[in-house]
Amino acid sequence: MGLWLWSRARRDPAGPLRWFGPAAVVVGVTSFAFHASFTFFFQFFDYVGMFVFIMLPAALNLRRLGWLSAARLTLFYWGGILGSCALLLAFRAAGVNIQPIFVVEVMLVVASEAWLAKTRPGTRYADLGWTLLYFGVAVAFWIGDFTRTVCDPSNHWFQGHAMWHLFGALPFRYAQRFYRQFPELGPAETGSSGLPPPGP
């Protein structure tokens, strides 16, 4: 999915819409490394991949709100990733559960989108709906695997955790399509997007 999005994004002007492909690749590679090793060292990078994904809509929404200039978008994105990683290590060193970090960041993205929906009508939300639907299906499979409801170690054809990864890849496509409709997410040097209308 990441390589496909990366290839398709070449038709878009330089700008944050091109970040979805590389972000998906990072998520895939870091997750693969953790699953292959099952060590905290690679698990940390698995978390880094999650932050790479979560901070992308966070940064784009702040840009849409006008709280970030186009020039500062990249700085906020990478600063958010590094800050999240530092917070994760601090939580782990203190013996504190790290999951709230992800929950709070996702809730901030949801809250910012809710505010945008209220204050800036006219946004097309179909692609965001597909994003949330596929992510919800992925989470359902993850829960099924975690609770051992859909988990049979002897079955090498169907695994709940594998389905979590497969369905978890689809939101990248629809999230990128959702954000393609906003002119302010175009290249910083022109201030406009020149983007094609949303479509398959």
Q: What are the residue ranges spanned by the domains of the chain? A: 2-185
Query: Percent of the chain scored above 90 by pLDDT?
Result: 65
The residue behind tokens 């597909």 is: 130
Q: CA-based diameter of the chain, in Å?
A: 55
Structure tokens at 100: 């709230």
Query: Percent of the chain scored above 70 by pLDDT?
Result: 91
Q: Dihedral sign, CA of 173, 168, 30, 58?
A: positive
Determine the angle formed by the axes of helices 160-179 and 20-37, rounding to 10 degrees. 160
pLDDT digits (tens, 9 = 90+) for 128-154: 999 999 999 998 998 888 888 877 777
**Cα distance between the two ends of the chain:** 14
d(CA 138, CA 143): 9
d(CA 64, CA 59): 9
d(CA 190, CA 92): 43
pLDDT digits (tens, 9 = 90+) for 9-54: 777 666 788 899 999 999 999 999 998 998 989 999 999 999 999 9
pTM of the full predicted structure?
A: 0.84
Residue range 81-104: average pLDDT?
94
